[in-house]
A and B are shown apart, each in its own frame.
Chain A
Amino acid sequence: MSWIKYIEKPVVKEPIAIVGSPGLRSVGKIVVDYLIEELKPRLVAELYSKHFPILYQTRPSYVSHPDYPGQAGTLLKGGKLELPKVEFHLLTYPELLITKGYHANFNGQYEVAHKILDFYQEFGVKRMIVIAGYGREGKDVCCAATDLELIKELKKYDIDIGYEGPFYGFSGLVFGLGMLREIKGICLFGKTQPSLEDPEYPDPKAAKAVLEILSRMLNLTIDLSKLEKE
């Protein structure tokens, strides 16, 4: 069971969804967190799921296993109670639906991704930009897309393909299953060094490289200096 808690139901036209989750070296998470902090969009909805653990039995969290569902529970942050969730933040101009993802356990991964896409369709989302990390040799940022046309379009921004392989977890499934709903998507992968001890250890440098390109693509004015200090 996964459900949406609406905070407001705004009038929207056709927002572009920006998707990030705590994947490899947390590149996607840092980018989304930074966008939320800098652009100050409104929190419009949250998604909760019985498949969201607060404690994962698999490491990294985005790799799931049917026998290890993790531990459900409530988190305490600065004295405030919180359940694990996905957050949807809406920016009015440009119209962006910034999605702060969360990894479900094995049994919930497809369910959560479909629920996210139901919500996107409700909001008229036709395009999405997914942010993640990749741990191979190559350019600072490479891309993937739901079709070859989009890959051609990305060459305008001097971005090319460069990663071949599996894309696990929240962002991968939202990206891929979007194709079944005719939601086109691109993915920007920031190059990072995988860490064996802590696969999700933050890499702000990789996140910054992605944010620079994202700012150009969406005409955003974002001060990236705070990331430089990290």
Chain B
Amino acid sequence: MTMQFKIYKEPELRDPYMVTGLPGIGYVAKLSVDYLIKELKAELFEELYSSSFPPYVLIKKDGTVELLKNEFYYWKDIKSKNDLIIFAGNTQAISSEGQYEISNEVLNRAEKFKVRKLFATAAYVTGRYLEKPRVYGAATEPELVEELKKYDVLPMDAGSISGTNGLLFGLAKLRGIQSICLLSETPGYMTPSGRVLADVKAAQALLEVLSKMLDIKIDMKPLEQEAKMAEDFVQKMEELERRWVEEMRKSVSPPPKDIYL
């Protein structure tokens, strides 16, 4: 597996927290961190490219080409005691090997910037529709689990958190980085048309808790308006993924007659 990095800036950060979220179930993590980046006007400082991402590029609406990538943003504010690093992206590694390697790269940066606490975002699959999604949490230390209760976060005692979003949380513990994983409830099913639900409501519930824990103010009003746009984007991404998976599933082609094995 090869990785490439494009460094735009090397920021100096004060006691930063780190928030991570890549596209996963219901796009809950992606929607949450993307909204945070937009509202805080966080600045991109590094991009990561990996051969374990799906092997295609995207042609955007304006005709320019975009690679699949993961990104690091930072945010500084004089009113806030802690700066912020946000890890986001338009994809995540497919293989477990790739997910481990990328998670380790993220945590290398967490160590380099002396991250005080890492907040991993993820989805909590319920399998049913929810009027008001609740937020579950898990942490690397018992004191942090206690702290979660102050924010009405329900402790998650058992279960699994798959993919890079989950691995970042687990690997952080191995490195002794204090970490909290926030999981927002989402149905986690596809709509009848076969479309994965982009769960903006779940992202909103998660962000309400996260912003309180980070002690930052973000305007939640535009989130509802963004719901539609996000859904359109996700529809498009989902269509791409669906087509890709569909193509992959097609049967093995018969060997041409002039080839002998």
Contact = CB atoms under 8 A, between A and B. Distances in A.
B49 interface: yes
A180 B4 contact: yes
A222 interface: no
B259 A59 contact: no
How many residues of B sit at the interface, in one of the four size bands? 35 or more
Nearest to A185: B65
Interface residues of A, number: 46
A110 B58 contact: no
Secondary structure of the A side of the interface? mixed
A177 B67 contact: yes
A163 interface: yes
A166 B58 contact: yes
Contacts of B240: 165-166
B240 to A, nearest CB: 5
B63 A166 contact: no
A179 B64 CA distance: 11
| Centre residue among B56, B60, B247 by max chain A CB count within 10 A | B56
A41 interface: no
B71 to A, nearest CB: 14
| Centre residue among B4, B57, B64 by max chain A CB count within 10 A | B57
Given A58-B247, A58-B248, A66-B94, A173 B56 contact: yes
B258 interface: yes
Interface stretch (B12-20, B24-32, B223-231, B249-257): B249-257
B248 A65 contact: yes
Given A71-B261, A145-B64, A176-B65, A165 B59 contact: yes
Given A148-B64, A172-B57, A75 B259 contact: yes
Given A71-B261, A146-B64, 10 more contacts: A58-B250, A63-B248, A106-B55, A148-B62, A148-B64, A169-B56, A173-B56, A173-B57, A177-B49, A179-B65
Interface of A: 54-60, 63-66, 68, 71, 73, 75-76, 106, 109-111, 114, 143-148, 151, 160-161, 163-169, 172-173, 175-177, 179-180, 185, 187
Interface of B: 2, 4, 6, 49-51, 53, 55-67, 94-95, 240, 243-244, 247-248, 250-253, 255, 258-259, 261
6 contacts: A57-B252, A64-B248, A160-B63, A161-B63, A168-B56, A176-B66
